[in-house]
Amino acid sequence: MAFGSLRKILANGDAYPGERSLDVATYPTGDVLESIVRENFLANGGHALIRTQAARQAGGFSTTLRLSEDWEFWCRLALLGPFEFIGAKPEVFYLRVTVGSSSGGLAADWSNHLPALNAVLNNPDIAARFSPPAWRSLARKVRASHRFEAGRVNFTCRRFGVARRLMLQALWEDFRLKRFILFVLAQLSQAMGRSLVSRLRFRSDDDAPPATAVG
């Protein structure tokens, strides 16, 4: 696979608030199996170019998965060969963030994450690329990462109780300082009634009309 960078945009086409500059965009390259298992650093495939033979050999997307079917496929594809990042500029894909997307609906329910998680973590070919202790450790970190992401999505949907529970469970499974800081910022954002960072932006704000210029 060869892939480029992406930019998130709002439903109305405006730039997504808080997006990082492309000058600092970095992605794994080469043998990315561990990286892609640990975190889906790709979007939905709109910024990726895949050899047809490799896609067929990997088996294509699983039609049994409702969520993260792209990530599960990337993991199988990464078994076959290297991924190559073509560079941050120019961006090759714009990802439109909308309130009704699956990331704001299906991704909020932790049970929807489990089929793809189980498909990856129970894949013997992927597990065989790691030592048993390393695979157990990675599997625990992956579960925690997905659980925290489910909590983050719930927070952006203003389901604060569920978000807090999932985030705390993820921190218990695999404590990460950046994760803890985001959790603290979530609590402050809830108390202040406004999101303090881009990753905690409330979904209801994404479809808000742009401010009208005066003068």
Domain ranges of the chain: 2-206
Cα distances (angstroms) measured from residue 186 to each of 24, 76, 180, 190: 25, 34, 10, 6
Partners of 8 in beta bridges: 95
* pLDDT for res 79: 96
Q: Structure tokens of 153?
A: 């999505």
Looking at every residue in the chain, the average pLDDT score rounds to 87
| pLDDT per position as a tens digit, 28-67 | 899 999 999 999 988 777 888 999 999 999 999 999 998 9
Phi-psi region of 116 (alpha: psi -120 to 50; beta: other; left: phi over 0): alpha
pLDDT at 207: 56
C-alpha pair distances (Å), 127 with each of 115, 141, 199: 17, 14, 31
The residues, any chain, with a CB within 8 Å of residue 86's CB and separated by 6 or more, are: 2, 3, 4, 92
Listed as ranges, residues in the chain with pLDDT below 70 are 18, 98-104, 206-215
CA-wise closest residue to 202 among 104, 94, 68 = 104
pTM of the model: 0.85
pLDDT of residue 215: 31
